[in-house]
Amino acid sequence: KQEVTQIPAALSVPEGENLVLNCSFTDSAIYNLQWFRQDPGKGLTSLLLIQSSQREQTSGRLNASLDKSSGRSTLYIAASQPGDSATYLCAASSSGNTPLVFGKGTRLSVIA
């Protein structure tokens, strides 16, 4: 059964800093991996989706990588801004018919 772990649980950085959020998963037979953002009391915003055949995806200041052999994914945020403050969730599925399994998230605070 797929399990997803995120480290660190919380992170506070000054504005402008580049940062990396880590995600690990137990089942290397991954179908896809998705990063989400969740603001307090709100729903999910999909940031990046990496298919099993891909190694990375980029969107603006965000870059996500996938290493199936080591069971890891990273989300890189460049030039962080206070508006990036939110909880970032990593989720993985093991096949096309199975649900996404979520990590507990990393709560990011970017200080102006």
Query: Which residues are at the interface with another protein (CB under 8 A)?
Result: 31-32, 34, 36, 41-44, 46, 49, 51, 89, 91, 93, 96-97, 99-105
| Comparison of 14 and 100: residue with beta carbon closer to another protein | 100
Cα end-to-end distance, the chain, whole Å: 41
8 vs 16 by CB, closer to another protein: 8
Specify whether the CB–CB gap between 32 and 49 falls below 8 A: yes
Q: How many residues does the chain have?
A: 112
Q: How far is the CB of 102 from another protein (least distance, A)?
A: 5
Distance in Å, CB of 17 to another protein, minimum? 25
Q: How far is the CB of 53 from another protein (least distance, A)?
A: 10
- Of 13, 1, 18, 10, which Cα lies nearest the Cα of 77? 18
Q: How far is the CB of 10 from another protein (least distance, A)?
A: 11
Could you give the C-alpha distances from 55 to 65, 79, 93, 99, in angstroms and in order?
6, 22, 16, 21
| Distance of alpha carbon 72 from alpha carbon 82, whole angstroms | 27
